[in-house]
């Protein structure tokens, strides 16, 4: 490899592909929890420290010009970041992973990769920040987006144009937890030579692996379940496609939205218990969803794990579980929803999701307040809708908290 002239710059023709699967296929046979704990997390070869150190150095010694151990400058590559990328790639069943400073920075980098003049197809209830990026940033860079109802398969093909480069979906969606058939949309995207991206934040790699269903790129807001402790903002993209990887790796360095070594290390630590956390998130969510469904103080419960969910069958087909997010409509309106949210003691009134602690929020006035009233109405974000991020506390305690808050809110 020729020496780089600009510090930390990677000339696109000279990329060395870090194949995250190169260390043999041994771990391919191993289970999720084993990979989460061991892949990319070998003891430090110099000290035998069981937990890899945090590598804070911004620069790395070269033994001769251009001769080094794969690290030159920390924006381009950092050992602690590489360790996280290796683990998450194995868990998403991908060859390559790239970490970013937030889920939103991941989105920005991927969107930039399609270039001026590209067209994007997305779901009408995609994450608010992603919607904002498509509508208010990508449009200024010469890209335009068509938002469609991807639950109605007949309307999808009509949204494609000659220049459609990217299809961006989330499943389940937020906050109405509707599902998109990944396999079906991937087929349509590929027929039109478009790249299919799935934002897998809500499911985590433990419950859903979109690459296996035909997606080209999986993205996560690591901020949520992957880190899992509500103390890191970070993002990641995973792919099996070396061309896509090369382009994104170039942009990761060129745009520079990289996570710090400390955040990368915390995210690796979080990842080691993802399997245990997801099991408990789901156990609690299913019991709470069933409890809410029986309550006469609730008019509708939306949880893909309930038989009453209109896409329960699809949920069972494309995912290995249903996750920890529940939305429900309380009997009454805004007043009752507000009273409920003021009355819970374990469920904290806050935005975000995916942490060990239970959270509750009011989408219409909080996470989805930037949507127009019309848009909120179209995607079913009503004033009596409440979203729960069910944590991993003891089930009985969470049930008791919900019961007492419902009693206070609805009489």
Ligand X SMILES: *Cc1c(COP(=O)(O)O)cnc(C)c1O
Q: How far apart are CA 268 and CA 272, in angstroms?
A: 7
Residue number, 156 or 325, with CB nearest to ligand X:
325
Q: How many Å apart are CA 219 and CA 123, to the nearest integer?
A: 15
Structure tokens at 399: 């049930």
Burial class of residue 166, CB neighbours in 10 A (0-12, 13-18, 19+): buried
User: Closer CB to ligand X, residue 225 or residue 347?
Assistant: 225
Q: How far is the CB of 201 from ligand X (least distance, A)?
A: 4
Q: How far is the CB of 172 from ligand X (least distance, A)?
A: 10
Cβ atoms 391, 356 nearer than 8 A: yes
Task: Give the residue with the Cβ less far from ligand X, 257 or 306.
Answer: 257
Q: How far is the CB of 197 from ligand X (least distance, A)?
A: 11
What is the binding site for ligand X (CB under 6 A)? 102-104, 127, 129-130, 170, 174, 199, 201-202, 221, 223-224, 233, 235
CB of residue 88 vs ligand X: minimum separation in angstroms? Answer: 14
Which residues are designated catalytic? 75, 127, 199, 224
Which residue of the chain is nearest ligand X when measured via CB? 103
Closest to ligand X by CB, 52 vs 304, is 304
Cβ–Cβ < 8 Å for 302, 279 = no
Alpha-carbon gap, residue 222 to 101, rounded angstroms: 9
Neighbouring residues of 233: CB distance < 8 A, sequence distance ≥ 6 = 101, 102, 223, 263
List Cα–Cα distances, 91 to 131, 183, 264, in angstroms. Answer: 27, 19, 16
**Nearest by Cα to 133 from 219, 229, 204:** 219
């Amino acid at each position: 490899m020729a020496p780089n002239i600009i510090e930390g710059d990677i000339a696109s023709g000279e990329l060395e592909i870090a194949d995250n699967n190169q260390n043999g296929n041994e771990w391919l046979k191993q289970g999720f929890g084993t990979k989460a704990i061991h892949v990319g997390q070998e003891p430090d070869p110099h000290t035998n420290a069981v937990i890899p150190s945090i590598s804070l150095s911004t620069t790395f010694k070269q033994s001769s010009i251009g001769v080094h151990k794969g690290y030159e400058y920390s924006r381009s590559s950092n050992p602690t970041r590489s360790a996280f990328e290796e683990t998450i790639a194995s868990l998403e069943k991908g060859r390559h992973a790239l970490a970013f400073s937030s889920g939103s920075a991941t989105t920005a980098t991927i969107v930039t990769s399609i270039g001026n003049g590209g067209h994007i197809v997305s779901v009408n209830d995609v994450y608010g920040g992603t919607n904002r990026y498509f509508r208010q940033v990508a449009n200024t860079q010469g890209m335009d987006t068509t938002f469609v109802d991807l639950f109605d398969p007949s309307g999808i093909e009509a949204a494609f144009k000659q220049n459609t480069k990217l299809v961006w979906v989330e499943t389940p969606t937020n906050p109405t937890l509707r599902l998109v058939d990944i396999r079906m949309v991937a087929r349509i995207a590929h027929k039109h030579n478009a790249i299919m991206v799935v934002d897998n934040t809500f499911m985590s790699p433990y419950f859903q692996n979109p690459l296996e269903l035909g997606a080209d790129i999986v993205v996560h807001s690591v901020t949520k379940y992957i880190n899992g402790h509500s103390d890191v903002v970070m993002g990641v993209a995973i792919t099996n496609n070396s061309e896509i990887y090369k382009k994104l790796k170039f942009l990761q360095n060129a745009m520079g939205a990289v996570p710090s070594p400390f955040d990368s290390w915390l995210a690796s630590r979080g990842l080691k218990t993802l399997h245990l956390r997801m099991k408990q998130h789901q156990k609690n969510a299913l019991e709470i969803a069933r409890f809410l469904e029986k309550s006469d103080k609730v008019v509708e419960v939306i949880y893909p794990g309930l038989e009453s969910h209109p896409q329960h069958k699809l949920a069972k087909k494309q995912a290995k579980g249903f996750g920890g997010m529940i939305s429900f409509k309380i009997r009454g309106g805004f007043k009752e929803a507000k009273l409920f949210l003021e009355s819970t003691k374990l469920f904290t009134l806050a935005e975000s999701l995916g942490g060990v602690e239970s959270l509750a929020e009011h989408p219409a006035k909080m996470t989805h307040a930037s949507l127009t009233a019309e848009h909120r109405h179209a995607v079913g974000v009503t004033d009596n809708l409440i979203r729960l991020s069910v944590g991993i506390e003891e089930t009985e305690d969470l049930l008791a908290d919900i019961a007492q808050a419902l009693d206070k809110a609805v009489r």
